[in-house]
Structure 1
Amino acid sequence: MFCGFSCTKNSLSALNVLYVLVSVLLVGVTSWARLLALVSSVRVVAVALAVGCFLFLVAVMGLCGALRQNQILLFFYMVVLFLVFVMQFSVSCACLTVNKEQQDLLLEVGWNRSEATQRDVERSLNCCGFNQVQNTSCTAKCAQGALCQPCAAIITRYTGDVLRFVGGVGLFFSFTEIVGVWLAHRLRNLKDPRKPPGAFL
């Protein structure tokens, strides 16, 4: 009985410590990229920071719920983590099933939505324009020598591999989230053997 309770509690705590580390890493890498001007798009930075902070709050909620065996925190942790699982699993499956035509369409739509992202891509990949070279507004080094190629040709070489990698990592973490939901549910229904027999859960 004690082993079941303590193993469940320690496993859930360890899982949430892992989530805290991932969230701190995400916020740190995003801040580092912004400080070094690797990413100039405020929207991309804001989304990455928001995801990192959200993951941190969920992990802290799960950690506190596990350590104190707080029924309310564990319940909300289960609900939030299950909703995150559904979204993340859906996005991961979509990343793994996107075909070449859909990849090209998504890239072009993403390219046309943000000029800041266009400049970042041109500067980092040393290319100009998406399908056609446009030296007039290009910030890449190759624009000075007129030897640039369109960015679509460079991006599409890596798109499939990146989507498979992102989909695989997302799928892996989505299953850890289901494990977290199961552990939280199990911990909510286990009684701490160190408490008096008449005490509430």
Structure 2
Amino acid sequence: MVYPGRKSSGCLLCRERKIKCDERQPGCRRCETYRTPCPGYKRPLEVRPYFAPGNAIHVEGSEPTALRMQSIADVIGNSPLSPSSTGKLNFLQDESLMNYFLTQYSVPCRPGIYSGHLEFLPDLLASSSPTSPLWPATCALANLVLSRRYKSPDLYERARKSYGCALWSLNDNLSQVPDTWQDDTVAAIMLLHQIEVSRQQLHKLYLH
């Protein structure tokens, strides 16, 4: 196994910019040079996935992640998306997996430095209905990203199932309110498009 090296321990901004940080407290000199408030040294959630009997997927986290949203596990657990999916599709029952995805891939915008990425997602999830298509779409993207990172066919299969459920939920949502495009509906479509763009790349990955 190749040793990946020491994990970066710089401030959040230096880590995002991929530059060396002197780790001065309370703020680093790099941020001072750029006349930008140093965001600090909060570590993102670190996880190590392992597979328990029955193909259940668990995630171990080094620290809890503060999110302005209700318990994701509770919301998903109480949200059957279709009769056919009951008992067949276990969404991200471990809240730390979703927290990990949002911590790593929902990047707030810093004007003049870098644009954000999915920065709207945590708050939009918190305000969305448990039956919103945004939930399974986010689950699908989270599993897809982690399947690519860990080269896990099991996570990829979970992503495919979540993707199918998201399509079902989106179709049901649009059929009920065809003249209304809510923010969570638009966001779900955007996430599903992002998944579709990556689908061919992942397919090639698992063929090798």
TM-score by length of 2: 0.33
Larger Rg over CA atoms? 1
Structure with the larger RCO, 1 or 2 (CA within 8 Å, 6+ apart): 1
If each structure's helix is expressed as a fraction of its own residues, which one has the higher value?
A: 1
TM-score by length of 1: 0.34
